[in-house]
């Protein structure tokens, strides 16, 4: 069951107005605000107002509303900052770097020559890739 708010959740406190944030978007379901530890100028977070621990914990309605907001907010961020593009990042779980366990989507504006790097590649044999693809397909059934 998804809780509306959790008392110890930083982002729930922002939604409730108990912690200030530089809010750029706010409707009945979604809120977006500037990240206090930005990677680039205009880096912001988009969250569902209803508490969910991570992307897999969200209900379908909130998921849809968040990603509709991502599209318009992403466009506004590019326009406002003059960014050449942006990264859309969702950290799911501690191993992926999730620190606050309330679903949040990062929009990180990117600029040609900004020095930010993509993650490194790993080498995987073709046979292993084929097997992995089959196993993932089977898990979706």
Which of 5, 51, 104, 118 is flagged as catalytic? Answer: 104
**Taking the alpha carbons of 29, 104, 17, 51 in that order, is the dihedral positive or negative?**
positive
| pLDDT on residue 5 | 73
Mean pLDDT of 54-79: 97
Domains of the chain by range and CATH? 10-139 (3.30.428.10)
Residue 30 has pLDDT above 60, yes or no: yes
Among candidates 50, 15, 16, 55, which has minimal Cα distance to 33?
15
pTM value > 0.85: yes
Tokens of 12: 């729930």
Among candidates 46, 16, 43, 14, which has minimal Cα distance to 30?
46
| pLDDT on residue 2 | 40
Q: Assess whether 104 carries a catalytic annotation.
A: yes
């Amino acid at each position: 069951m998804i809780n509306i708010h959790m008392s110890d959740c930083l982002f729930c406190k922002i939604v409730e107005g108990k912690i200030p944030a530089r809010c750029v978007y706010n409707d009945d379901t979604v809120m977006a605000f500037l990240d206090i530890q930005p990677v680039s100028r205009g880096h912001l977070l988009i969250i569902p107002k209803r508490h969910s621990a991570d992307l897999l914990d969200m209900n379908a309605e909130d998921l849809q509303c968040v990603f509709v907001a991502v599209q318009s907010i992403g466009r506004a961020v590019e326009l406002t900052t003059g960014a050449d593009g942006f990264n859309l990042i969702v950290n799911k779980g501690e191993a992926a770097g999730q620190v606050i366990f309330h679903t949040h989507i990062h929009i990180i504006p990117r600029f040609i020559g900004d020095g930010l790097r993509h993650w490194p590649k790993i080498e995987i044999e073709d046979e292993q890739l084929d097997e992995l693809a089959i196993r993932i397909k089977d898990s979706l059934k």
